Homo-oligomer: A and B are copies of this chain.
Amino acid sequence: MLSRSMKEVVANSSAIRAMFEEGKRLAGLFGAENVYDYSLGNPNVDPPEEIRTAALRILAEENPVHLHGYMVNAGYPDVRAKIAGKLNERHGVSFSENNILMTVGAAGAINVAFKTILDPGDEVVVFAPFFGEYRWYAKNFGADIKIIPMDKESFQPDVAAFEGALSNRVKAVVINSPNNPCGAVYPEETIRALADVLNGWRVKTGRTVYLVSDEPYREIVYDGASVPYVTKLYKNTFVAYSYSKSLSLPGERIGYLAVPSEMDGYEEIWPALTNANRILGYVNSPSMFQRVVAACADVTVDVSVYGENRDVLCASLTGMGYELIKPKGAFYLFPKSPVEDDAAFCDTAKKFRLLIVPGRAFGAPGYFRIAYCVKKETVMNSLNGFEEAIKAFA
């Protein structure tokens, strides 16, 4: 009864669903506090108190028909202008309300951009390790992903391999920094190198390849790492942003797509994006939370909790013999699996009530992901399990 596309999705989603079921089973057997669930990027840091305060005030003061009503598909103009102004202050860009499309999270933002530029048969380049959903987002529009293998030394994009992968089928490339699943932050020189390749390709072939910069973790960085603003380095960039992680609001589905006016084809792309937001069934980004995030434009969650988890995990796991690169951002750690078969390792880890995800889900077999957006006590109580798990393969 299923469409062919959903048959493929369901067949490939079974591993993560099985982990979810296994987590529930283990919680039933041992108690939820004795299961160390590192499987999902669901922030456990409280949203800032300003969110609640703003929501209460907005509900009390604003006209409810306007507050909960339709607006133009791009979102409330004043909200978009406020966000544009903040980006201009922080990053020295020159955005107005006509460069900010409010979306249903970053997932909605990427799908709207893909719908606008992708035709069936096109390719979207991604760099391993990558967020596995990009595959399905591309397939939603009949396009395929082309994976550039992981640089195991640096976790940075392999720009030379990228240049070799360009073809007339390639319409877009996705980057994600700070990265899910490895926590790498791409420095300005990496973005410049990518931009040089893309500009060279445009001169040589007359074709524009768009960059989609997926940035839900922009605000979650450590050790003073800075995340370059990509539109300043390559004008043909869509920035997909979400408040899911920066304000711990993932369930509210609130984010935006930033689209510079200098982009090739902006005049036809902008109205197409607003139409795509409508016909993909989003219609608009949820209305009340548009106003809430605009009222909290200077606020972010307390990142120090994640930083402490990172420090404890990196030091402890390294001491146990795990090989890893200390992440500069996001709340993911991506150690090398002690055995080549990352799925077998994650299976064994379950015996110690550790729920972690095999690297193959991110295009990087032989590694595993720890989503450390959990309580500190979860981290502390889980350490013994990591020790037992590596010993099991010694």
- Chain A residues in contact with chain B, CB under 8 A? 1-7, 9-10, 13, 17, 40, 42-47, 51-52, 55-56, 59-60, 64-65, 67-71, 104-105, 107-108, 110-112, 115-120, 133, 136-137, 140-142, 208, 248-253, 264-265, 268-269, 271-272, 275-276, 278-289
Top 6 nearest A-B pairs by Cβ distance? A251-B287, A1-B265, A111-B281, A107-B281, A136-B279, A6-B272
Which of the residues B4, B56, B115, B136 comes within 8 Å of A59, measured between beta carbons?
B56
From residue A86, how far is it (CB to closest CB) to chain B in Å?
21
CB contact under 8 A between A47 and B71, given known A10-B275, A117-B1:
no
A116 to B, closest residue via Cβ: B6
From residue A40, how far is it (CB to closest CB) to chain B in Å?
7
Which of the residues B67, B70, B208, B253 comes within 8 Å of A282, measured between beta carbons?
B253
- How distant is the Cα of A101 from the Cα of B230 in the complex, in angstroms? 37
CB contact under 8 A between A65 and B43, given known A4-B119, A6-B276, A10-B272:
yes
Decide if A69 touches B141 in the complex (CB within 8 Å).
Answer: no
From residue A134, how far is it (CB to closest CB) to chain B in Å?
10
Please give 17 more A-B residue pairs, beta carbons under 8 A apart, in addition to A105-B283, A142-B142: A2-B268, A3-B117, A6-B116, A6-B272, A9-B272, A42-B69, A45-B65, A47-B65, A51-B64, A55-B59, A59-B59, A68-B250, A104-B253, A108-B282, A112-B281, A137-B279, A140-B140
- How distant is the Cα of A50 from the Cα of B10 in the complex, in angstroms? 40
Decide if B1 touches A252 in the complex (CB within 8 Å).
Answer: no
- How distant is the Cα of A111 from the Cα of B279 in the complex, in angstroms? 9
Which of the residues B51, B64, B251 comes within 8 Å of A71, measured between beta carbons?
B251
A66 to B, closest residue via Cβ: B251
Q: Which residues of B contact A71 (CB under 8 A)?
A: 251
Decide if A253 touches B107 in the complex (CB within 8 Å).
Answer: no
Decide if A65 touches B52 in the complex (CB within 8 Å).
Answer: no
